[in-house]
Structure 1
Amino acid sequence: MTPRSTEETRLRVIEATIDLLAREGRDAVTTRAVAAEAGLQPPAIYRLFGDKDGLLDAVAEHGFTTFLRSKHVDPDPPDPIEDLRAGWDLAVEFGLANPALFTIMYVAPARTESAAFKAGMEILMGRLRRLAARGLLRVDETLAAQVIHATARGAVLTWLSLPENGRDPALLTTLRESMVSAITNERPAVQEPGPAGAARALRAALPDQKVLSEGEKVLLKEWLDRIATENE
């Protein structure tokens, strides 16, 4: 089997697994069922993916890659808070459209080593750095990312757990706005008393500074980290 035909077969198996997940749920995903869905013999699954866990890892990576392609990245959005809202909405919409795949991607075991997951995280951290640089971030960037992930995953899983006649779109809006309120300021923090907001804004701008050496940047970041989190 040539490398190209191997990759095509892998993709066929991954897509067959996703179809099976969507129709019948995770418990239906066995190597025998997936092989039948893909028109292969069960040993082929082991040759291509090692075992069922390897197959699910490949499915999750495919999901992260698909989601990553749907993301729009504006390096200088006119309104970074609206940009944050749009990113959150996109994540939730993807989860609601692909519930079984979303579960494989984001529910334990965590697949944070995925290259596509890391690329998506870099997009998110870019959004947060832009907020911080404008003095609009209320909390540390790492905590902000955790809050965004927790609220988006919680929104998807809660919505899917509800009967269809009990699904109120206001739930999603409320969770999103709670996230925005928790991690951002309505006014730039650098206009308010206290050094924490100014420290976060300066810390976010550090990578673009050319007047400091790398060692000086590391030292300054350490100081700014302490100032930015002194009241958290």
Structure 2
Amino acid sequence: MATVNLLRKKGRPELGNGDVKRDLLNAAMQLLSSEGREGATMRAICAAAGVTPPTLYHYYGDLEGLHKAAIDETYLGVAEAYHGGTEEKGPLKGIRDGWATFLEFAHSEPNMCRIVIQQIMAGKPPSMVMETLQGLAEDLNEFHAQGVLKYNPKDTAQLLWMSALGALTYAVSKDSVALEGSEEPSLQKALLEITLDALFEH
């Protein structure tokens, strides 16, 4: 789970462009990615965005609200990769694109990736997760009707999600658990193919 830069470094506005709400969001995303939650404090975010704490409260309610908005924005890249691939060549293309984007995220933004995983483990996943899984299940209905799914669409979507989370967690913890000499990108690709083989009839 075409890869999309999850933090949109090329496409998103730079700080100081006059969009204060977006400046706060960008500052939070940058600091969460580089410093983690501990470094993405209200003081640091407001300083980076060039505003005062009341402005943050005005737009996001509190620091937790801004952190959640930053995490939600980050996850949008995965959702966009899935939907873009699906519109181009169907659900399997979307699954592969979303998987690839997830893993690119893990390697390029490990701190932010860990925060997303923590949110999911705490039962507070990014707001787009449920919508993406529901959309995936609906897209898989066509395969179900053709008799090529081994499980119903909803369960298939959940199993894909579980496998993707496992791959993501492994990727961000690889320094402590990876076997010497292992080819991680090849292993991650193999895991996706094993997962698809387990879920789809041939």
Q: Confirm or deny a common fold (TM above 0.5).
A: yes
Equivalent residue, structure 2, for 1:151 = 163
Inter-CA distance 13–83: structure 2 relative to 1 (3 Å threshold): closer
Where 2:186 maps in the other structure, the secondary structure is helix
Match of residue 43, structure 2, among 32, 46, 52: 32
Inter-CA distance 27–56: structure 2 relative to 1 (3 Å threshold): same
TM-score under structure 1 length normalisation: 0.64
TM-score under structure 2 length normalisation: 0.72
Count the aligned residue pairs.
179
Give me the identity figure in percent.
25
Give the letter for the 1:134 counterpart.
Answer: Q
Equivalent residue, structure 1, for 2:14 = none
Structure 1 or 2, whichever has the larger Rg, is: 1
- 2:109 maps to 1:98: yes
List, as ranges, runs of 4+ consecutive aligned residues in structure 1 with deviation greater than 6 Å.
Answer: none
1:66-145 alignment runs, 5 A limit: 66-71=77-82, 72-74=84-86, 77=89, 81=92, 84-108=95-119, 109-111=122-124, 114=127, 116-145=128-157
Give 5+ residue unaligned stretches, structure 2.
1-17
- 2:190 maps to 1:174: yes
Offset of residue 42 of structure 1: 2.3
Q: Tell me how far apart the structure 2 counterparts of residues 85 and 73 of structure 1 sit (CA, whole Å).
A: 8
Give the letter for the 1:175 counterpart.
Answer: L
Equivalent residue, structure 1, for 2:5 = none
Q: Which has the higher contact order (CA 8 A, sep 6+)?
A: 2
**How well do the aligned residues superpose, as a CA RMSD in angstroms?**
3.0
Contact 1:13 1:35 in 2 (8 A): yes
Give the letter for the 2:152 counterpart.
Answer: D
Contact 1:14 1:55 in 2 (8 A): yes
Q: Tell me how far apart the structure 2 counterparts of residues 113 and 97 of structure 1 sit (CA, whole Å).
A: 19
Give the letter for the 1:97 counterpart.
Answer: S
Q: Tell me how far apart the structure 2 counterparts of residues 43 and 88 of structure 1 sit (CA, whole Å).
A: 39
Inter-CA distance 177–125: structure 2 relative to 1 (3 Å threshold): same
Structure 1 window deviating more from structure 2 (31-40 vs 58-67): it is 58-67
Q: C-alpha deviations, 1:19-38, integer Å up to 9, x for none?
A: 11221122212111111121
Equivalent residue, structure 1, for 2:21 = 10
Inter-CA distance 156–30: structure 2 relative to 1 (3 Å threshold): same
